[in-house]
Amino acid sequence: MEFGIFNSLYVPQRLVEENGAAAEHRRLRDEIDWVIAADKAGFKYTWATEHHFLEEYSHLSANESFLGYAAAVTTNIRIASGIMNATPPVNHPARLAERAAMLDLLSDGRFELGLGRGSSTTEQRGFGIEDPELTRDMFDETVPEIVKMWRDGEYPGFEGEFFSMPARNVLPKPLTKPHPPLWVAAGSPSTFEKAGQMGLGVLCFSMAPPKVLAPAIEAYKKAIAECDNPVGDFVNDNVMMTTQMLCLEDGDRARQIGTDITSGYHDSLVFRYLDTFPRPPGIPVWPELIPEPTAEGLRKATARGMTLVGDPDECSAAIEQYQAIGADQLTFGMLSTTMPIEVAIEAVETFGTHVLPNWDKDPVCRTTHQREALAS
C-alpha cells in the first residue's frame, strides 16, 4: 500500500472569519508546509485538485502553479494532479500536454497526470458546457491526443468534434519516458471498468465504506488485466482511494480534535457543488448541513474503514480494509477541514513513524515498476 495527501485549498467561512483577507494566502502556505512534511515522512504522493468557481469548497484553480512550487521545495514525493480537467473548453489539450511536460521536467520526473471531466455544473457551465454528458465524449477525444503530443517530433494535428489544431511540435517533451503515468477520476462501477479498459489508474473520491466499493475495484482489476490496447504507452494498474486521516499517539485526542474541524461542513459543500455525483439518501439539501461528527461517531467510522481517526493501531486496522478490497494507494484530504496545520503535520509525522513503514516497504513507486517493465 502506498500513501499520499490531497491538496484542495479549502477556505470555509470559519477561516475567513479568523483570518480576514489573508485566509486564502494562509491556507495556501499551510498546504505547502503540509506537502513538505509529507515528503519528509515518506509519503509517496501529493495530489492537487483543479476546481473553478467553488467558493469555500476549493480555491485551487491553478494546480500546475501549485505543483511547480511544491516540486521546488520537496525531494522525493510524487507531484500529481488530482485532477487536471481534460475538457477542451476548460483546458486545451495542447496546454495540458505542455503543462504536464513542464511539471515533469521541473520535478526531475516526479510528475503524474490525473485527468477528469469535472464534477460540478457550476464549473462546467462557467466554461460554456451546458450538457454534463458531453464531457464523456470530450474526455475520450482528448486523452489519446495528449499522449501523441508528448512523442518526439511534430504532432500531426487533429480535427475532432470538440477541438481541432494544425500540425505543431508541442513543447517541451516530458522527461519521463515514454510519458508520465496517467490516471482518471472515477466513481461508478462502469467508470472503473472503463478506466481499466483504457489502461488508466483510478482516482477514487468516495464517502462510502471500503466494502461498498469492492465491486467497482473488482471490475477495474478484471478489465485492466485484459487491457492490451491502453490509451497511453503503458498500463497503469493502480487504484488510489481518498479518505480522512488524523493519526495521533493519543486516539482520544485525535477524535476530540476531529469533532471540531468543519468536516461535516466540507461534506455539505461536496453535495452542494458536485451535483453530477449521486446523492445518497438522507443527505440534507444546502443550506442545511451535515452534522459535525461526534467522538464516538469517529470511532465507529474508523472501525468501518470510512476514515482513519485514532491511534496508530486503529488507523492500521482501517487500512487493512482498503487492502482487502484491492486498493493500491490511500490518500488523505486532511486540510479539507479546518484542522490546524500544526496538528496536520503532527499527524503526518505520527503516521510516517508508526504506520506507513509497516505497509509501504518499497522505495520505488508502483507506477515506476509498471513503466520500467515496459522497457524490459
Residue 14 has pLDDT above 80, yes or no: yes
For residue 19, the one-letter residue type is N
374 vs 287, residue with greater confidence: 287
For residue 183, the one-letter residue type is W
With beta carbons less than 8 A apart as the criterion, state whether 232 and 179 touch: yes
**What is the pLDDT of the chain when averaged over all its residues?**
97
At residue 114, the pLDDT reads 98
Residue 359 has pLDDT above 80, yes or no: yes
pLDDT band at 277 (very low <50, low <70, confident <90, very high): confident
Residue 187 has pLDDT above 90, yes or no: no
Domain count, the chain: 1
- Residue 362 — φ and ψ, nearest 5°? -105, 120
With beta carbons less than 8 A apart as the criterion, state whether 306 and 209 touch: yes
| Opening angle at CA 163, ends 159 and 166, nearest 5 | 50
86-113 tens-digit pLDDT:
999 999 999 999 999 999 999 999 999 9
Residue 307 has pLDDT above 90, yes or no: yes
125-134 tens-digit pLDDT:
999 999 999 9
pLDDT band at 281 (very low <50, low <70, confident <90, very high): confident
All cell numbers assigned to 310? 485514532
At residue 276, the pLDDT reads 82
pLDDT band at 25 (very low <50, low <70, confident <90, very high): very high
pLDDT band at 279 (very low <50, low <70, confident <90, very high): confident
At residue 207, the pLDDT reads 84
Residue 368 has pLDDT above 90, yes or no: yes
- Closest to 107 (Cα-Cα) out of 45, 58, 153, 156: 45
How far is it, in rounded angstroms, from Cα 305 to Cα 206? Answer: 12
Residue 308 has pLDDT above 80, yes or no: yes
167-191 average pLDDT score: 95
215-262 tens-digit pLDDT:
999 999 999 999 999 999 999 999 999 999 999 999 999 999 999 999
Range of the domain at 158: 2-375
At residue 208, the pLDDT reads 87
At residue 209, the pLDDT reads 92
CATH of the domain at 33: 3.20.20.30
At residue 206, the pLDDT reads 81
